[in-house]
Structure 1
Amino acid sequence: MANVGTLNKPVEKEAKPAVNNVKIKDINYSKINQMESFNGFVKKKNTFLFGVTAAFLTLYILLPILAFTPVLQQKWIGNITGVWVYSAALFIMTVVLCMLYTKMAPKFDKMAAEVLAEYERDGGR
């Protein structure tokens, strides 16, 4: 249990963090937005994220629609209907998409670091 006396102490404001020795308030975001490497990075990341999201939502929303069709009402495996198989496949798809994202995230982080390094090489501001 927390000591009640420590809960009432004023919290000191933390300094703004620096990214690769560049203070956040000193970053010229409009210059970064004009960089070709930044726009390429954003395009690749958005293409991946929107593509994965669209695939997930499409397959997820199809379940209640297809659940009442004869296709998924038929028995596929023994007495198990297609609805159950499709539902289980959605769980598997979710795990696969999470694994795919965790493999892609470090690549996106590296690309973002390269953009920031290019910004710093060009002198920033």
Structure 2
Amino acid sequence: MQSETQEPQGEAAQEEPEAAAAEAQQAPGATVDTPVAKPVPTRSLVTRRLFILGGFWSTLGLALVGLLGPSLDFAWTRDPAGAARKVSVSRERIPGRGGDPVVITEGRFFLVNLEPGVTPHG
């Protein structure tokens, strides 16, 4: 009895691919419509990573300036020609013998007129 209710396997095998092909032709209306991905808009805030990196490089730069700055300031003369220039002092500005020293601001020095025979160190 089982053989009467079952269809031959050869015919069933041929009908299945045809049925699948018919469904595929009808399927275009039943496809899944996937939305297109949109990029996330950029944030106007500074990210944590950028903030930490900025702090790191700022600290490193300040440390470098702190280490090299004074050495460069000492070695780099600003006005080497002005260091050995001549300064004219008028006779009125020269102090009398044994008088108080006079400040000569153009040459950045004090001018002292000592009495004869007196040495600077006694």
TM over 0.5, yes or no? no
Q: Looking at CA atoms only, which structure, 1 or 2, has the larger radius of gyration?
A: 2
TM-score for both structures, normalised by structure 1:
0.29
Structure number with higher relative contact order (C-alpha < 8 Å, ≥ 6 residues apart): 1
> Of Structure 1 and Structure 2, which has the larger fraction of its residues in helix?
1
